[in-house]
Amino acid sequence: MQVKDFREEKFGYAVIGTRGEVCLATQKAKDHLRAGAHLDENEYKPTVMTVNDPFRLEAPLIVMLEVTRQCNLTCGHCYISAGEPRENEMDTETIYRVLDELKKLKVFTIFITGGERSFAVTSLISSTTPRNATSLSR
Ligand code: SF4
C-alpha cells in the first residue's frame, strides 16, 4: 500500500493508502510510515492485539456528515426522506468547526452529504477541510 496518511493508536497505527484503502499496523511500522514508504500490510499487520476494556480507536476512520435534510426533490428512494430541514440543523459556522475538529482528530475520510448540501453551505470543500473530505453527489 502506498501510504497517504496515518495516525497513532494504542496498538500501533491506523493507516490510509492513496487509493482509500485502510489497514492497521503494529508499532514496528513507525519508521516505515514516517519515511512515507510503501507499506507491506502483511509484514506489519497486528496478529495478536491486547484489547483493553473498552477498546476504541482514537477517532473514527470514516465519518458521514449529513449537513441538512432539506431538499427540493422528493425521490422515492431517498434514504433520509429528505424535504424539510430538521430542527436544530448545524449552521455553516458549526459545520466548519466540526470539519476542523475532525481534521485535528485525523479522521481519514469524511463524506459530506444531505439532503441538498448547498442549502446548508455553498462551498464545503476548501483548504480548511481534511484532505480526504468527499462531497457525495447524488
Ligand atoms: S436528498 Fe437526494 S435522494 Fe433525497 S430527495 Fe433529495 S435528491 Fe432525492
User: Which of 78, 136, 79, 88 lies closest to 112 in space, CA to CA?
Assistant: 136
The model's pLDDT over 99-118, given as tens digits with 9 standing for 90+, comes to 999 999 999 999 989 898 88
Considering the domain architecture, whether residues 78 and 123 belong to the same structural domain is answered as yes
* Nearest residue (CA) to ligand 1, atom 4: 78
The CB density around residue 89, as the number of other CB atoms within 10 Å, is: 17
Considering the domain architecture, whether residues 36 and 101 belong to the same structural domain is answered as no
Alpha helices in the chain (DSSP H): 30-34, 41-44, 92-104, 117-120
Considering the domain architecture, whether residues 105 and 71 belong to the same structural domain is answered as yes
Instruction: Tell whether 51 is covered by a domain.
Output: no
43 CB-near residues (< 8 Å, 6+ apart): none
How many A from CA of 56 to the centre of ligand 1? 34
Q: Show the cell assigned to 101.
A: 475538529
**Per DSSP, what are the bridge partners of residue 12?**
9, 26
Residue 127, pLDDT above cutoff 50: no
The set of protein residues with a Cβ atom below 6 angstroms from ligand 1 is 71, 73-75, 78, 82, 114-116, 138
Q: How many whole angstroms separate alpha carbon 36 and alpha carbon 137? A: 31
Considering the domain architecture, whether residues 40 and 70 belong to the same structural domain is answered as no
The model's pLDDT over 17-47, given as tens digits with 9 standing for 90+, comes to 999 899 999 999 999 999 987 899 899 998 8
* Averaged pLDDT, 49-77: 89
Considering the domain architecture, whether residues 125 and 71 belong to the same structural domain is answered as yes
Q: How many domains does the chain have?
A: 2
- Please report the atom of ligand 1 found closest to the CA of residue 72: 6
**Per DSSP, what are the bridge partners of residue 7?**
14
20 CB-near residues (< 8 Å, 6+ apart): 109, 132
The model's pLDDT over 88-99, given as tens digits with 9 standing for 90+, comes to 999 988 999 999
- Return left, alpha or beta for 13; rule: phi > 0 is left, psi -120 to 50 is alpha, else beta: beta
Considering the domain architecture, whether residues 20 and 69 belong to the same structural domain is answered as no
Domain assignment of residue 34, given as a range: 3-44
